[in-house]
Amino acid sequence: MQLEGRAREHVPALAGVLSVVSLALVFGAVLQLFPAGSIPRAPAWLIDAIPHVNALISLVAIGTITAGWRFIKRNEIAKHRASMLTSLVLFVTFLVLYLYKVTLLGPTPFPGPETVYRLVYLPLLAIHIGLAIVCVPLLYYVLLLALTRPVAELPNTPHRRVGRVAASLWLISFSLGVAVYAQLYLLY
């Protein structure tokens, strides 16, 4: 049996394993479990640019996810697939840059007033992080379904139903990420 055939039979398990590995990397970086000296250090100007680049990536991803949703509603499957794969590449790029910065410097402290921190920033950040965590297994699941089956078989799978939820949460998470960025780097 080919790899695709094996993957096809174990999509939920593969999505689970990939989710655990991905989330372990994120939490490991945020909790400073990886030694900063274990990765090469880029120049300070490049590290300082990462949050701004990631905000731009997030805005573009919001556009590509929205476009992908519109394309599938019009039954433009090839365009939908291209949009969603572009969204995935943007997400992976965002994540690699974020993990790199956080591994080197740790999470960015909130520079604004304590009241805004407690009443606005923390709840917004918590929802953003919660949605991102929930999105990971959903995204892996719909991606693996799409990659292991012919397009004609996808309507007979949960791809459409789970994909709607995943795309909705993904859009909200990216949008909240931009709001977090604005509070950290633009407002305060």
CATH number at residue 180: 1.20.120
What is the per-residue pLDDT across 8-35, written as a single tens digit (0 to 9) for each? 889 999 999 999 999 999 999 888 898 8
Residue 20 confidence (pLDDT): 96
Length of the chain in residues, anyone? 188
Distance CA 95, CA 4 (A): 26
Distance CA 138, CA 169 (A): 10
Distance CA 12, CA 137 (A): 9
Distance CA 119, CA 3 (A): 49
Please state the domain count of the chain. 1
Confidence check: pLDDT of 3 > 60: no
What is the per-residue pLDDT across 116-149, written as a single tens digit (0 to 9) for each? 999 999 999 999 999 999 999 999 999 999 999 9
Residue 4 confidence (pLDDT): 63
Average pLDDT, integer, range 99-122? 95
> What's the domain range around 56?
3-187
Confidence check: pLDDT of 1 > 90: no
Both tokens assigned to 113: 């007033």
Name the least confident of 3-17, 65-79, 95-109, 139-153. 3-17
SS3 category, 113: coil
Entry pTM = 0.90
Confidence check: pLDDT of 2 > 70: no
Residue 32 is which amino acid? Q
Average pLDDT, integer, range 41-59? 97
Distance CA 87, CA 62 (A): 8
Q: Are 140 and 15 in contact (CB under 8 A)?
A: yes
What is the per-residue pLDDT across 170-183, written as a single tens digit (0 to 9) for each? 999 999 999 999 99
